[in-house]
Each structure stands twice: as structure tokens, then as C-alpha cells.
Amino acid sequence: MLIYSFLIVLKVLLAIIPLLIAVAYFTLAERKILGSMARRMGPNTVGLFGITQALADGLKLFLKETVLPSNSNVTLFLLAPVLSFLLGLLGWSVIPLGHGLVISDVDLGVLFLFSVSSIAVYGLILGGWASNSKYAFLGALRSTAQMVSYEVSIGFILVCVILCSGSTNLTDIVLAQKTVWFCLPLLPMFVLFFISALAETNRHPFDMPEAEAELVAGYNVEYSAMGFALFFLGEYANMLLMSALSVILFLGGWLVPFDISFLKLIPSCFWFALKCLFFVCLFVWARGAFPRYRYDQIMRIGWKVFLPFSLGWLVLTSVFLIVMNWLSF
């Protein structure tokens, strides 16, 4: 029993440690790519070509003093970033990096991820409310409303994928794309899912909850040191999670792009990481290329464009699958 528990802990650590390293270097890659888009160098002082800048930033935040606002609810104030960070990591427990490379291959993997993303709202609203700051609370309300609004359209998109694959198990969804990746027959849903992922993670151009000109910094305005770092790490872990989910749902997961024999010799996790890197670059590109929406525009797009379109495509997909099922008999 003790050996079994040790193996479980080792398995979790082998998944979390590379994830934390990936999150740290995601921030460095973002600064480098944005620097190139703005024709500047980006971080290049700490370490060779700035490669240890992310580690230096983490050490700086770890050594800084944690300032607690005098009128805040201290317990909830400290709990909020921890909750946000842990939920950002929890979703990775059902993400298959390759065939059999998954911590927990549950049958309801899609529903588990949807539940975790829904609970993540509580970390933000707790942080904003416990800070006892009007700017933080307004940022938390904006973030909560935005995340809830775009979760509805994401839910309908997930149902479309479940109907096409016939399973809520993420591994089965990947294996259902051996013939054709779902990004081709469900191309509009693929585009809608990525845009909704930008809004779900409060990323540009949907980063109104963190609009510096209006809210100073949003729900995390009162946080410093490790409290701010945990919110920061949770946000970037969620971006990586949405990138991985996009790969699994629409780009065939770890499957090779072409049926070529020598490509199959490359480890499956390499293809998965390469596809995730594509979405990571898209997240950064969207931040550098597009202006920020107004908040009323964000809500209008979510409820009056994305929701009707995703619902209509779900009905269309259902009718198409029913007709094809009848014709097969």
C-alpha cells in the first residue's frame, strides 16, 4: 500500500514539475515574441539570451514581502490565489499527452474539465471580494460574468465534439480522429472554441477584467509577492490547458499529421507538445495584434453571436448524424 501511494505521488510530481517549468517559460516566450512583434529585444540580460529570466522573476516574487490589506478578509484573501492555482493544475490530471500517458483516464474527462473551469470562477471572485477594494471587486465581477458567458458557448462546442466521437473520454475523442481531425468537419466550432478560450482565460482582446486604465489591475490589484505569482501561474496554466484541450478536441491529440511511417517513430508526446506550441503562439499573437474590446462588446459577442451560432451548429450536427445513421441501415 505504501509503495502504491509512493508511485501515485511520483506520477503526480512527474506531471506537475514539467507543467510548472512550461508555465514559467511560457511567460518568457510571450515576452520574447511580443518583443519581436514590436521590433525590440525582449528579456536578454539574465542568463544566456535571457533564458533564466523566468526563474529570476519567480525568485523575486518568492522573496518579496506579502502585504495584507488592513480591511481585507485575510483567510479568503490568502485562499483565493491558492484555489486559482490548484484548479489550474487539477485539469491536467485527465489530459492524455500520449496513448496511456495520462494521470487519470476517466470516462467523463470532458465533464470533469468543464466542472473544473466552472469552479475556477470562485478563486477570482473570492480574491476580488476579500481584498475589500472597489477596483478589485469590479474586476472580479467583470471576470466572473465574462467567464460564465463564454462557458455556455464552450459547452455547446464540447457537445458537438462528443456527438461526433461518441464518447466523453478524452483518449477516445483522440482515437476517433484517426481518419480525419475534427478541425475540418467542425471548422466553425474550432474557430469559435479558440476565441472562447481567449475570453475564458481573460486574454487579449478579451482582457477587460484586467483593464489597467479603468481598474488599475483587476481582481489581483491588492496582491503582491506569492499571492500575485499564484494568480499569474494559474492564468498561464489555464492557457496551456485550453491549448491542450484544443489539440485533443480538434487536432487529433498526439496523432501524427500524416500517415507516414518514419513520422510514427517520433514519440507521441512530441507531436502533442508541438501542436500545443502552435496554440501558445496564437495566444501571444492575439495579444500583440488586436486592440481590446469594450466590455459591452464582449458581452454582446458572447450572448448574441457565439451562443446562437454554437447552438445552431449543434442542432445541424445532430440532424446530420441522425440522417447518416438512418442511411447506414
pLDDT at 309: 92
pLDDT at 294: 81
Rounding to the nearest 10 degrees, give the CA dihedral for residues 268, 271, 272, 273. Answer: 120
Which residues in the chain belong to E strands, given as ranges? none
First to last CA, the chain: 51
Q: 15 CB contacts (<8 Å, ≥6 apart)? A: 92, 93, 103
Query: Could you state, in chain order, the average pLDDT of each consecutive group of 10 residues for the chain (329 residues)?
Result: 73 78 84 84 79 83 82 85 86 83 81 86 86 83 85 90 88 87 88 89 76 67 82 86 90 77 70 88 87 84 90 90 81
d(CA 298, CA 301): 5
Cell of 172: 477516445
d(CA 158, CA 88): 19
pLDDT at 237: 87
How many CA atoms are closer than 13 Å to the CA of 208, on its beta-carbon side?
A: 19
Q: What sign for the dihedral angle of Cα 123, 129, 132, 135?
A: positive
> Of 83, 89, 73, nearest to 22 (Cα)?
89
> Of 145, 190, 152, nearest to 308 (Cα)?
152
Q: 118 CB contacts (<8 Å, ≥6 apart)? A: 151
